Amino acid sequence: MSQIVPPSFLFQYALPMVRIDQLPGRAGSPLRLPPSASVMLPAQLNVAELPWSLRAAWNSEGLGFEVRVRRKQIPPAGRWSSPTSSDRVLILLDTRPTAGVQRATEFCSLLTVLPLDDDQDEQPSARFIEIAQQRTQKLAQDPRRCRVETVLSSDGYQLSVWIPGSQLPGFAELAETRALGLYVVIEDAELGQLPMSVGGDFPLAWNPSIWTRMELTDES
């Protein structure tokens, strides 16, 4: 008998995001975030063991993420001409998380990353995607400013993503507000949808009230 409401949906979360001033580091190299940057995934309450993990960090210049996907037998593949059938990682961000706001504001962003883009010589690529029902966003975003690196392994891959603060509306005030809405979803042709908490049965793509609240700390 399937659960009507996943256990992870029954709680509100406030998780720490560490500060690492050395990011993003040398161009062309993975971020290599330390274990202290590991993020607890609420989806752990729904299944015995997750096939992926997340690390995240911030500093005054931007945000860094590492996604590690395991239990794969074939490498990721995809192209922007067929994004919904591609292996991809979605990173949703809200620099003004406010309880009860159920529609993406101008401070929300969605960066979609292909770990390997078949149209780019199997190199990773990223695009900022418009969020459904979003209020007008005033900032022009350029995904070429982001750094994405993929390292393949025998059972999956590790994806590093660096998003400069200049590409995120409201980022300049994060040093004062110290709060960020975050939601990461992996869509994998082999493993299926792997959400940070709840999946596609919920309006997570455009409802920031479902996203996880991250509290920015000065600890590294």
| Residue that wins the pLDDT comparison between 46 and 107 | 107
What the chain holds in terms of domains, given with CATH numbers, is 10-125+140-216 (2.60.40.1190)
How far apart are the C-alpha atoms of 97 and 142, rounded to whole Å?
23
How far apart are the C-alpha atoms of 131 and 112, rounded to whole Å?
11
What's the confidence (pLDDT) of residue 45?
81
How far apart are the C-alpha atoms of 64 and 57, rounded to whole Å?
5
How far apart are the C-alpha atoms of 15 and 72, rounded to whole Å?
28
pLDDT digits (tens, 9 = 90+) for 155-193: 999 999 999 999 999 999 998 999 999 999 999 999 999
What's the confidence (pLDDT) of residue 1?
37
pLDDT digits (tens, 9 = 90+) for 202-215: 666 678 888 999 99
Q: Give the H or E element holding residue 177.
A: helix 174-177
What's the confidence (pLDDT) of residue 84?
85
3 pLDDT higher than 60 = no
How far apart are the C-alpha atoms of 140 and 62, rounded to whole Å?
16
pLDDT digits (tens, 9 = 90+) for 122-140: 999 999 998 887 877 778 8
pTM of the model as a whole: 0.92
